[in-house]
Amino acid sequence: MEFHHETGRVYVLGEDGSVLAQVTFPEAAGRADINHTFVDPSLRGQGVAGRLMEEAVSRLRAEGRKARATCSYAVKWFGEHPEHADLLK
């Protein structure tokens, strides 16, 4: 699976160019706001959402950015991955 990166977004495309999965984290009030996670039903149950979050966290760390999680999945993911809690401070 190939992850694509843009400013404030990590996503996966289908063969037809449609977005099959994505996490968005636009800049808001000086921090990235992880505000949306989407995974197409054809990919659910395969850990894709978690891998999207890992990609987003890696990108934010590389850019030296802090974040807040307003997406319910992101809130849950950070709760399950306390090793990344410093990113939210």
Is the confidence at residue 89, as pLDDT, over 80?
no
What pTM was estimated for this model as a whole? Answer: 0.91
Q: How many CA atoms lie within 13 A of 68 on its CB side?
A: 7
CA distances to 5, 46, 78 from 70, rounded to whole Å, are 20, 23, 11
Is the confidence at residue 1, as pLDDT, over 90?
no
User: Which helix (H) or strand (E) covers residue 59, if one does?
Assistant: helix 48-62
Domain locations in the chain as residue ranges: 4-88
- Which top CATH class is 4-88? alpha beta
Q: Please state, for a pLDDT cut of 90, what percent of the chain lies above it.
A: 94
Are the beta carbons of 32 and 61 closer than 8 angstroms?
Answer: no
The arithmetic mean of pLDDT across residues 8-12, rounded, is 96
Binned at pLDDT 50, 70 and 90, residue 29 comes out as confident
**Locus of tokens 């090793």:** 83
What is the per-residue pLDDT for 14?
95
